[in-house]
Structure 1
Amino acid sequence: MKSIISGVKISSICAVVPARVLKFEDELKEFPFPESSSRRLGKVMGFREHRIADPKTTLIDLAAYGINCLFKEGVIKKEDIDCLVFSSQVREHLVPGNSKVLHGFLNLSRNTHCIDLYENCTGFISGLYTACSIMRASNLNCVLLVVSNSGCCYANKKDRNTYPLAGDAAGIAVISRADEKETIDFAFFNDSDLRDNLITPAGGMRMPATEETAKMHIDDMGNYRSLNQLHMDGTGVFHYVMENVPFLIKEICELADVKKEDIKYHLTHQPNRFMLEKLADLINVPREIMFNNIVENFGNSSSSTIPVNIAYNLSDKLIDNSYKVCLSAFGAGMSVAGAIMNLGKMDYCKLIEHPCNGSNEY
């Protein structure tokens, strides 16, 4: 699916990461592999440290903390928020949805419309498309897009395939009206026959969680996993990304009538450094314009990696300048998503730390 939406823009971004830092070096003893083997893997993949919130700090706490920062800094006011779009694969409660919980935490107007998207690593781009579509089809002036991920403190520490790259974070984007000449071009593709490449088998309706599904087993690689935990075929995911993201970028450049060399930055979802280095080489763009430093500093926070990427690498530049950028993401499904836009001249763009004390007040 491809679409062009005009007259909208991202006017502010706030990314929130936990202050709690866990180091790969300290976790080596947990993995059922020789430490020398884990160190070699960590060097290639970019495993150095990651941010993981404590159990009492939830994805709503991270998100509310960032939005309260925007309130305090005078970037937006509560009464400005016409609509709240919350995109995440993690839930505060089974019922109600995250957007309703966050709405209550922030004490927003009862006229603020709340929408929940159950999304994973492509969630920021899917949420951006939803937010922009709502604004374009209405008379609204301010839509708040929220992506958030937490709960990595409960992740399986004996699975070297997933735990070293896990991270918690939230991202908040303020979507505003823009000149009609401004467009955001979107593209989405899904290959759901490959969904077993990245899946948590148990815990849903098809396979409810039981004592049996909670039992640990050793996989072919030597990692310990239960059916209640994330299963990732790293090789399958790698090949899917290498085959499909270059095609996505080619398609979206054609849709936007943009040449590859006109793109100043590729702001990509960040699974690990190795994959992004290979992807940059494959699409023949300099590695320095496809940042790959998020996992080594913060971890892979699913849908939040793109706003963390933007705020960490470009915060100062995006206040006074505007650049042609390409967003791209890939994840469970299997799915890929992309967007091309002019990004910059923002009111606010910062990365802030949450104190990890369960607070949602900045």
Structure 2
Amino acid sequence: MCATVPQQVYRFEDELKSFPFPEKSSRRLGRVMGFREHRIADAKTTPCDLASYTMNCLFHQGRLRKEKMQAMIVVAQMADHPVPGNSKVIHGQLDLPTDVFCTDIYENCIGFLSGLYTACCHVAAGAVDEVILITTDGGACYANKLDRNTYPLCGDAAAVTVVSRSDNPEDVIHFVFRTDGSRREALLTPAGGCRMPATAETAKMVRDEMGNYRSLNNMYMDGTAVFQFVMERVPPLIDEICRYAGIEKTAVQYHLTHQPNRFMLEKLADLMRVPREILFNNIVEHFGNSSCVTIPVNIAYNLGARLLDEQPLVCCSAFGAGLSLAAAVCRLGRMDFCELIEHPGNGTIAYPV
């Protein structure tokens, strides 16, 4: 596994004056939520650029070989172009062989687990022995800089996870997915799709009842509704995945969750009755919420080199737009490579030699 974040750091302290609120209240919110700094790619760097740079790092390290690649799954909610999909753009950027199977999954916060499940299905079906799973996002472009509800927590990132066939029958990943589409309007971007195409009208900013500014082209989040959904639905989901995997919840050594903000994750750990120190909550304050990439960033940043030798029992969980939920339990570790690297910017895909 290799995760990449932009080199450029944006600090909450420097952004305070942009929000239409007293600085004192913004500082208080920042302390509670864990807003400190986030990584946002420059205008010339796309989600595909972040992903291709990460792949080139693995090629350079000798962790992957182009001629050995069989399949590549790319998960994102942002695309370099409406057509073709990101997987084809990355394929061209990397000059991959023409027989590599490439496909795209449009997904957001649960995207890493959706992609991992899909990769496992390909391997389990016997079609391939190895799948390259790429998760990448540029979610910050959905947020308005005047919206204190979303902008301080957004970040950009990419990750490559190599999923290979194992001969050990105990190497099993258990998955559970849940969706409640009736609550979809609690987290959405209203304009920009077929239902409401982006126009000059949808780009007009308005002030909401809380004082934030956004347009219909920007992401809207009902924070209270999303918080309630997570608090109500995630703890039972964790109990369910542990029963399904045939383990006691106390046997889980780390809870590797999607990273919305520190406050939500602290409350979630308490409701789940697990120690806060095994449910990491520090990704938003260092890098921002990169949607489908937060779990790989979480893994690489908080566990990193330890996973080269250790193999802890972990529970990965995610929740977000849809509204949707996902969880997975497995032994994670004894990896060949697990690092967090930085992208230098300016749209480069070439890893330095």
Give the TM-score range, shorter chain: over 0.9
Distance, in Å, in 1 between the alignment partners of 2:313 and 2:68 is: 28
Alignment pair present for 1:20 and 2:8 = yes
CA shift, 1:141, in A, is 1.6
* 2:130 counterpart of 1:142: yes
**How is 1:134-213 mapped onto 2 (pairs within 5 angstroms)?**
134-150=122-138, 152=140, 155-178=143-166, 179-213=168-202
Q: Give SS of 2:122's match.
A: helix
Written as runs of structure 1 = structure 2, the 5 A alignment for 1:1-362 is 13-150=1-138, 152=140, 155-178=143-166, 179-362=168-351
Measure, in 2, the Cα distance between the counterparts of 1:225 and 1:358.
27
Q: Matches of 1:81 and 1:246 in 2, distance apart?
A: 38
Alignment TM-score, normalising by the size of structure 1: 0.95
**Which amino acid is the alignment partner of residue 319 of structure 1?**
L
Percent identical among aligned pairs is 62
TM superposition shift of 1:286: 0.5
User: Alpha-carbon deviation of 1:210?
Assistant: 1.5
Q: What SS does the aligned partner of 2:10 have?
A: strand
Per-residue CA deviations over 1:268-292 (Å, capped at 9, x if unaligned) read: 0000000000000000000010000
**Offset of residue 225 of structure 1:** 1.1
Matched residue type, 2:224: T
Q: CA deviation at 1:263?
A: 0.4
Offset, 1:138: 2.1
- What whole-Å deviation, never above 9, does each CA across 1:234-293 have from its counterpart, x for those lacking one? 000000000111111111111000101110000000000000000000000000100000
Residues 202 and 153 of structure 1: CA distance in aligned 2, closer, same or farther (over 3 Å): closer
CA distance in 2 between partners of 1:262 and 1:275 (Å)? 23
Determine if contact 1:59/1:149 at 8 Å carries over to the other structure.
Answer: yes
C-alpha displacement at 1:211, in angstroms?
1.6
Residues 324 and 342 of structure 1 are in contact (CA less than 8 Å); yes or no, is this contact kept in structure 2? yes
Shift of 1:209: 1.3
Distance 2:324 2:139 in 1: 23
Unaligned runs of 5+ in 1: 1-12
Tell me, yes or no, if the aligned pair for 1:53 and 1:153 is still in contact at 8 Å: no
TM-score where L is the length of structure 2: 0.98
User: Distance in 2 between the 1:293 and 1:231 partners?
Assistant: 23
Partner amino acid, structure 2, of 1:18: P
Q: Which moved more, 1:211-220 or 1:345-354?
A: 211-220
Moved more, 176-185 or 166-175: 176-185
Give CA deviations for 1:40-79 in whole Å, capped at 9, x if unaligned: 0000000000000100011111111111111111111112
CA distance in 2, matches of 1:154, 1:41: 21
The answer (yes or no) to whether the contact 1:53–1:151 under 8 Å persists in 2 is: no
Greater strand fraction, Structure 1 or Structure 2? 1
Structure 1 residue 113: Cα displacement:
0.3
String of CA shifts for 1:125-150, please: whole Å, max 9, x gaps. Answer: 00000001011112412200000012
1:83 deviates by: 0.4
Contact 2:135-2:159 within 8 A present in 1 as well = yes
- Flag as ranges the 4+ runs of structure 1 deviating above 2 A: 151-155
Paired letter, 1:272: N
Distance in structure 1 (CA, Å) of the matches to 2:67 and 2:334: 23
Q: CA deviation at 1:154?
A: 6.7
**Displacement, 1:180?**
2.2
